[in-house]
Structure 1
Amino acid sequence: MTIAALDATSRPSVAHLLVRQEDEDEFVLGNPATGRFVVVPEAGARLIELLAAGHTVAEVADVLEHELGEPVDVLDFVEMLVEAGLLDEREAAGEAAAPRVEEAEQGKKVKYWVVSKIPPWVVKPLFGKAAWTFYVGCLVATLVMFAADHSLLPSYEDAFVVTDIMLSLVITNVVVMGLAVVHEIWHAFAGAAAGVKSQLRLERRGIFTVLETDLTGLWALPPAKRYSPFLAGMGFDSFVLFAAVAPRFAYSRGWLDLNPHVVRFLAMLVLSQVGKLAFQTMAYLRTDMYLVMATATGCKNLHQVTRLGLKRLIRKLTPVEQTILRDADAKDLRVARWYRLLYLAGIVWMGWFAWNFILPAAKVTIGWAAGVMVGAPVFSFYWWEGIGLVTFAFVNLTAPLFVALRNRIRARRAARVAVAV
């Protein structure tokens, strides 16, 4: 792409871009307004510094050639920033910024999740040293109780809180969705505590449909400040899991008297929270722990590099995929050698979980619904209840496919916009 208005006399408007050193010779360059970030070498960071000081493209090229001892194509670098979404064409040419494609389509600026706009001082106590000691303590205490009493471990049958399957699924899904929202709110709170706003979106991870808090702005912060927002949801889940296991443990020891319905409800909470925490450890699905691991290892594109490395063993890569793998960062290639084992283990776990939890629950639900629909008068309450159960099971099983289709449609639209530009 060539920007007609961009030439050697241009003064690209880059003052709004953030530059932060990520490694010894690498810097993160980003635009907080668009949530776009790229990794550039030290020369790229220096180039932005000179442009931000008001120098023209030609002047920056002269300074860099003098400092580095070799010519630098500043025009090409600025065009790369436009392609990456950090600048629009008017900003690159030094003119007034134009509305971004997303804003032009929506007629408004980026919408951040309202809970992410809370002042940092309000939510910081939730993520201080004392708070994290509490979260870790809850998880450790829960593991100790599981080890002491294996009957507290979850089973797919725990999803059915009452004998009426329809009512059980309604209760379970309302509770699970509510806790999932609070899980994401905890991510947003932790982001707000670090001064980063976020967005909530629906995404797919393997065979699962998930809510996801977009905290792209964290990449503008030092690595040490990213861990708390990444792990915040798991901290909340650990607390809820402890709160559900502890009363059942006391009940099993005769220390506490509980209503049987309460015991069943707590068992359902345990199933929900164990599933969530186990899911977050599946790094190959780019979950919370993947972000933690990628940050700790300093990787830039570990998931894609690992996936393409494994794909290459089975089938031929496309030219674009071959280029990505060829130009991959050395850290990504090095970590991918052992990360691929976690990747494959995650695929096996997902299959095991589907076989032992999702399919049995779906079988019970659909079987019960079919029995009701055959035995009950057409259009009666129980007949409609059976229809509702079948519909519910179908939506849950096919939701990931619909999300995948939506993402593919969006990717094609973005590609058409890029070609038009």
Structure 2
Amino acid sequence: MTVAPARPAVAGGSRVRLHPLQSRRAGDEVIVGRLATGDFAAVPAVGLAVIECLGRGLTVAETRKAVLAETGEDVDVGDFVDGLAALGFVSDVDGVALPGPAPRRPTFPWITQRRAAWSLSPLVPVAMGAVIAAAAVAAAAQPRLIPGYRSLLWSRHGSLVLLVTVGAGWSMVLLHELAHLLAARATGVPARIELGTRLQFLVAQTDMSGIELAPRRHRLTAYLAGMAVNLTTAAAGLLAAAAAGPGSPALRPLEILVLVAVLPLPFQFMVFMRTDVYFVLQDLTGCPDLFGDGRAYARFLVRRALPGRRSRAADPSRGMSAARRRAVRAYGAVLVLGTVLCLGSLASVTAPADLTVLVRAARRTLPGHSVADRLDGLAVLLVLGGAQAVWARTKWRGAKARRRPGAVRDS
């Protein structure tokens, strides 16, 4: 079999061979995709009939006749095959192989589906809920157990505080993402942990493309697994602090553990950045691409607000069902408001504060300061400056991947 440099033409007599595809019905649509590459798309229900006929070895023309007889719909199978090929779902046409994305290498491939199966057991959320409930009772009985921001300011050396907080925070992030990966791997999804950006934030993210095919309980478990681990870790820290008692040398590390586990949770409710709660919301509303549809509607709102463009703006939600239209319009408004507030906070608070800290740290590395002050300033520069450099590189690589022809964009 030869590999063609360009996509061969699809004629009525062409035989099309597809890569192994998985599917799940979602309302009036069908979610179809390749687990090996993480590429998925929502197609009309009749599209599944086309895929099944092609899979039986029928030609394009034979498929069109068979689908017409089965569903009463006359489908342009050639155009449909072109769409499948663009998604990387077509293996070859008339024996000529089509280029496509290579299978992705999963993170921690030794975590097999069998080894991760325990994470979907109903006993897991029961055990987590028991720990969280016990911690809530302990905190209500002893409010002193609840740490405040001063628990993080355990040293007069800002560099030590920063290094410990960043180290503990990113360790918690890895544990959070591992929880997502375990739940996804238990469903057979070859999930990957990678760095990404959400507006001005550098984040770790787990690409769980393919989880859409799992049963709803398993999907929601995978989406909520990270937050559940954060809450359980914080609860365990509170219970350990209660057992240690006042004055224990273990108290401060436990307080730091509780804070680094709890503080990231509000971020997950910023649904305009496709956080964990966003995917729950997308699943419950039945919108396969709530972010994409919401962004299109947000652009429509912005264009409509511009002078002279009101009459030319077309509402992209007009052809949707009533329930989906309401969800998309509400999310589009949240998307605009959240993005504006987030970028406004960056411009007015975060960026000036970071710049001030970096300038002060740089000054402390100059002659005239003690060795301890110089090391302290250098550590701050390395941590904060390094984080900004990683954010910029991750942002640039993401933009480059989106511009590259044929690139696959993670959802």
TM-score (norm 2): 0.82
Q: In structure 1, what is the equivalent of residue 292 of structure 2? A: 304
Q: Give deviations 1:48-92, integer Å, cap 9, x for gaps.
A: 1111111111111112223344532111100011122322xxx34
Matched AA of 2:374: W
Deviation for aligned residue 1:13? 0.8
Contact 1:366 1:390 in 2 (8 A): yes
CA–CA distance in structure 2, aligned partners of residues 205 and 56 of structure 1: 45
Q: Hey, what does 1:21 align to over in structure 2?
A: 25
What corresponds to 1:411 in structure 2?
402
Which residue among 272, 276, 300 is the counterpart of 1:288?
Answer: 276
Q: Matches of residues 178-193 of structure 1 in structure 2 within 5 Å?
A: 178-193=171-186
Residue 268 of structure 1, CA deviation: 2.3
Q: What residue in structure 2 maps to residue 111 of structure 1?
A: 105
Matches for 1:144-223 after TM superposition, within 5 Å? 155-223=148-216
Asked if 1:373 is matched to 2:376, the reply is: no
AA aligned opposite 1:195: G
Q: Give the alignment of 1:11-410 within 5 angstroms.
A: 11-14=15-18, 16-23=20-27, 25-87=28-90, 91-95=91-95, 97-98=97-98, 100=100, 102-103=101-102, 109-115=103-109, 117-143=110-136, 155-249=148-242, 255=245, 257-259=247-249, 262-315=250-303, 325=317, 331-340=323-332, 342-343=334-335, 346-347=338-339, 350=342, 362=354, 365-366=357-358, 369=361, 372-373=364-365, 376-377=368-369, 380=371, 382-397=373-388, 399-410=390-401
Q: 1:163 to 1:118 in 2, by over 3 A?
A: same
Distance 1:159 1:337 in 2: 41
Q: Aligned AA for 1:38?
A: A
For the Cα contact (< 8 Å) 2:317–2:329, is it kept in 1? Answer: no
1:305·1:332 contact (CA, 8 Å) conserved in 2?
no
Paired with 1:84 and 1:402, the residues of 2 have a C-alpha distance of 27
1:114-134 deviation line (CA, Å, top 9, x unaligned): 25x423343333332221012
Cα shift readout 1:29-58 (whole Å, capped 9, x = no counterpart) = 112222111112221111111111111111
2:3 counterpart of 1:8: no
Partner of 1:200, secondary structure, is strand
Greater Cα offset, 280-289 or 217-226: 217-226
Report the AA paired with residue 218 of structure 1.
I
CA shift, 1:349, in A, is 7.6
> What SS does the aligned partner of 1:226 have?
helix
Structure 1: runs of 5 or more not aligned: 104-108
> Is the deviation greater in 148-157 or in 234-243?
148-157
CA distance in 2 between counterparts of 1:176 and 1:93 reads: 50
Please state how far the C-alpha of 1:375 moved relative to its aligned partner: 6.8
State the Cα distance separating 1:189 from its structure 2 match.
1.1
Structure 2 CA distance for aligned equivalents of residues 383 and 296 of structure 1: 53
Q: Does the C-alpha gap of structure 1 residues 350 and 157 become closer, same or farther in structure 2, counting only changes over 3 Å?
A: farther
Cα RMSD, aligned residues only: 3.7
Q: Is the 8 A contact 1:247 1:256 kept in 2?
A: no
8 A Cα contact 1:156 1:361, kept in partner: no
Output one character per residue of 1:364-403: Cα deviation in whole Å (capped at 9) or x when no partner: 854763563357459x564244133134223334644443
Whether the 8 Å contact between 2:294 and 2:332 is mirrored in structure 1 is yes
2-structure distance, mates of 1:184, 1:15: 29
Q: Percent identity?
A: 27
Are residues 195 and 170 of structure 1, via their aligned partners in 2, closer, same or farther at CA, if it must alter by over 3 Å?
same
d(CA) in 2 for partners of 1:354 and 1:258? Answer: 39
Partners of 1:240 and 1:19 in 2: CA distance: 36
278-287 or 349-358: which moved more? 349-358
Cα gap change, 1:298 to 1:264, in 2 (>3 Å): same
Distance across 1 between alignment mates of 2:337 and 2:48: 39
SS at match of 2:232: helix
Q: Using a 3 Å threshold, how does the CA distance of structure 1 residues 359 and 63 change in structure 2: closer, same or farther? A: closer
Q: Which has the higher helix share?
A: 1
Q: Tell me which amino acid in the other structure corresponds to 1:113.
A: T
Matched length = 399
One-letter amino acid of the counterpart of residue 258, structure 1 = S
The 2-side partners of 1:31 and 1:323 are apart by 32
**Contact conserved, 2:297 with 2:329, CA < 8 A, in 1?**
no
Which structure 2 segments of 5+ residues have no match? 1-5
SS of structure 1 residue aligned to 2:405: helix
Q: 1:283 to 1:249 in 2, by over 3 A?
A: farther
**What does residue 106 of structure 1 align with?**
none
Amino acid at match of 1:412: R
> How much has 1:332 moved relative to structure 2?
3.6
Distance 1:215 1:329, change over 3 A: farther
SS class of match (2:266): helix
Q: CA deviation at 1:314?
A: 3.3
CA contact (8 A) 2:298 2:336 kept: no
